[in-house]
């Protein structure tokens, strides 16, 4: 049987039309599915923004319906970021179970869920994230802050402990001034955190680059006597002065009126008097003895200069305590603390 070429042409056109219609139908279905997925994700993200009000079953339904769990919301954060921010352990666990990216960063500050949970002191969530692969090295913010740094600043003991166990680096510093985690804990008076960081190898004499201030100095300035004691015991040098003006920890503690810190710093002397130090003339000890004697003399001179300044504008109690410390070095003690400040100053001048 023979077909005219026009019949072939008609068949080809019909087949092509069927193909086009089929392709269009598939595209429509895909577009519809994509639209549904986008809508589901949008609702999922909207729900995550009020995560503490979320019904966990409703939240789970969106996930099962295909919501993109790692999508960024209008704040540039994922649902896991939001859950970490709010401290919602149940939602965090759910998102981890469905393989949410625990190391994804926010759009603006580049922080991970681990950083956010650490900042807010959610130790249980921090441990969950660490156990699920959260990397302390990837959690550094654009300004250099790490989960350990921010947790130390806020005094979150359990968080710091978890992070150190996971290998967090104690030496990382803030970009702007070189302040590390130990400096921040010392500044804000968190002795338990100070001890954790010291035990983990934090450098006790590292100075902030901007002002040349050490952890011991800042703890002394702010009157955190327990932190001063821990730092001193760990080898912090009380003779390191602030680079911008050569002010010592003893000086600043006195100026701020922190009597307990002044007393502690004065008690750190090893008991060797200048004369005895000067007698150490063995060849191997010459340099050490000379340096120690110089430091002892410097401490005494600092005390005298401090007293001169404090006659006019320093706290009276701090001045009296300093006088005791100075005169103790000279085998004298001021016992008459009830005297007028001017009378005490006159006696010292004499």
Dihedral pair phi/psi, residue 294, rounded to 5°: -60, -40
Would you say residue 60 lies in a domain?
A: no
Domains held by the chain: number: 1
Confidence (pLDDT) at 189: 98
Residue 347 lies in a domain: yes
Q: Which of 132, 59, 131 is nearest to 90 (CA)?
A: 59
| The pLDDT of residue 246 is above 50 | yes
d(CA 111, CA 132): 17
Q: How far apart are CA 197 and CA 312, in angstroms?
A: 40
Per the document, the length of the chain is 350
**Cα 258–chain centre separation:** 25
The answer to the question of residue 51 being in a domain is no
User: Is residue 341 included in any domain, yes or no?
Assistant: yes
- The C-alpha atoms of residue 225 and residue 126 are separated, in whole angstroms, by 30
105 DSSP assignment: P
| Cβ within 8 Å of residue 234, ≥6 positions away | 198, 204
Within-domain flag for 249: no
Find which of 30-39, 180-189, 237-246 is predicted with most confidence, using mean pLDDT: 180-189
Taken in order 257, 260, 265, 270, is the CA torsion positive or negative? positive
- With H, G, I as helix, E, B as strand and everything else as coil, classify residue 215: helix
State the pLDDT at residue 154. 98
Name the residue with tokens 């809508």. Answer: 39
Tell me, yes or no, if the pTM score tops 0.75: no
Residue 293 counted as domain residue: yes
Q: Which two tokens stand for residue 79?
A: 């649902």
State the Cα torsion 316-322-325-331 to the nearest 10°.
-70
Highest mean pLDDT among 41-55, 67-81, 233-247, 320-334 belongs to 233-247
Q: Does 198 fall in a domain?
A: no
67 falls within a domain: no
* Structural domain harbouring 332: 269-350
Answer yes or no: is pLDDT of 82 > 80.
yes
Locate 33 and state its tokens: 């599915």
Task: Compute the distance between CA of residue 87 and CA of residue 81 in angstroms, rounded to an integer.
Answer: 10
Instruction: Give the tokens for residue 260.
Output: 């307990």
Nearest to 134 by CA among 156, 153, 158, 159: 159
Q: What is the pLDDT of residues 31-66, one digit of tens each?
A: 443 444 466 777 767 666 666 656 788 778 878 888
pLDDT at residue 221, rounded to an integer = 97
* Residue 73: per-residue pLDDT: 86
């Amino acid at each position: 049987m023979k077909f005219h070429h026009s019949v072939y042409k008609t068949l080809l056109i019909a087949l092509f039309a069927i193909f086009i219609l089929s392709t269009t139908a598939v595209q429509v279905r895909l577009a519809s599915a994509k639209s549904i997925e986008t809508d589901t994700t949008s609702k999922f993200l909207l729900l995550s923004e009020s995560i503490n009000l979320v019904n966990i079953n409703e939240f789970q339904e969106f996930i099962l319906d295909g919501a993109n769990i790692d999508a960024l919301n209008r704040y540039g954060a994922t649902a896991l970021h939001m859950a970490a921010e709010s401290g919602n352990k149940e939602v965090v666990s759910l998102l981890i179970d469905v393989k949410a990216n625990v190391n994804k960063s926010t759009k603006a500050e580049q922080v991970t869920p681990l950083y956010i949970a650490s900042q807010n002191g959610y130790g249980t969530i921090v441990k969950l994230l660490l156990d699920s692969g959260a990397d302390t090295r990837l959690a550094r913010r654009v300004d250099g802050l790490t989960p350990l740094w921010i947790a130390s600043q806020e005094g979150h003991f359990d968080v710091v402990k978890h992070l150190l166990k996971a290998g967090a680096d104690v030496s990382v510093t803030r970009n702007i001034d070189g302040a590390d985690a130990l400096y921040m804990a010392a500044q804000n008076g968190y002795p338990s955190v100070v001890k954790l960081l010291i035990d983990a190898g934090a450098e006790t004499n590292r100075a902030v680059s901007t002002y040349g201030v050490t952890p011991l100095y800042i703890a002394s300035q702010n009157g955190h006597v327990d932190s001063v004691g821990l730092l001193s015991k760990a080898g912090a040098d009380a003779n390191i002065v602030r680079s911008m003006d050569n002010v010592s920890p003893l000086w600043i503690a006195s100026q701020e009126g922190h009597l307990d810190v002044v007393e502690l710093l004065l008690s750190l002397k090893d008991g060797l008097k200048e004369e005895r130090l000067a007698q150490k003339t063995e060849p191997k000890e010459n340099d050490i003895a000379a340096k120690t004697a110089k430091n002892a003399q410097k401490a005494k001179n600092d005390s005298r200069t401090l007293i001169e300044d404090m006659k006019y504008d320093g706290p009276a109690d701090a001045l009296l305590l300093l006088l005791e410390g100075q005169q103790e070095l000279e085998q004298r003690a001021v016992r008459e603390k009830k005297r007028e400040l001017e009378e005490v100053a006159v006696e010292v001048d004499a």
